[in-house]
Structure 1
């Protein structure tokens, strides 16, 4: 559960940098399906919802790593490469798990 909270925080911080139109595009990609073999998010669950609810929906459908991966790929498709890089680095470095295990600080982005 603690790991899930951290993943949610990383996703939230990254997606908060999107403006309203970019968030709608992000949600559109999620409804279309991002990865083969992974279910798309239901359109009704994403229509007109906030960044926080978008993250909640990601976490309900996917496990931690898959939610991060889906978000990363979606951001790349939107040419939001800086935000995608933040998520990639968090996964590659095991930053999220490392922070949870050590219980250090609130700064969760590399």
Structure 2
């Protein structure tokens, strides 16, 4: 299951007051290395918009970690553990299905034009081997 779907399912379990509290935590320094999301970006954000902002700000795994930490801070320990386990199960499943195709992967090309930004993809799989990244400025 995609991380965005896992996060959305988790946030949909929160009643409105708890969701507002969750967004308050997102605007604080919850996890080392993850900057708070400004309150103005979260103020009127729906659950889907909040998930989108979290993934854009943190990427997938850190967004899950931030969510788990916030849920623990809110004393929703069962929900935090459930999210953590479901994410881990998804990572195990995707690693086992992608390991066979990883050796035959073809290079990917990405380009940005006129001030655009490229956000690096998450790389799943083995931690051994090499990864080459070439940046050409035209």
Give the TM-score category using the shorter length.
Answer: 0.7 to 0.9
Residue pairs, 1:1-110, within 5 angstroms: 6-93=2-89, 95-96=90-91, 98=93, 101=97
Give the number of the structure whose residues are more often helix, by fraction: 1
State the shift of 1:96 in Å.
Answer: 4.6
Runs of 4+ in 1 over 3 A off after TM superposition: 99-102
Q: Distance in 2 between matches of 1:58 and 1:33?
A: 14
Q: Report the TM-score, using the length of structure 2 for normalisation.
A: 0.64
Q: Tell me: CA distance 1:89–1:48, structure 2 relative to 1, closer, same or farther (3 Å).
A: same
Structure with the greater alpha carbon radius of gyration: 2
* Structure 1 stretches lacking a partner, 5+ long: 103-110
Aligned length: 97
Asked whether the 8 Å contact 1:58–1:67 carries over to 2, the reply is yes
Q: Tell me: CA distance 1:14–1:29, structure 2 relative to 1, closer, same or farther (3 Å).
A: same
* Structure 2 stretches lacking a partner, 5+ long: 99-138
Question: Which structure's relative contact order is higher, taking Cα pairs within 8 Å and 6+ residues apart?
Answer: 1
Asked whether the 8 Å contact 2:68–2:81 carries over to 1, the reply is yes
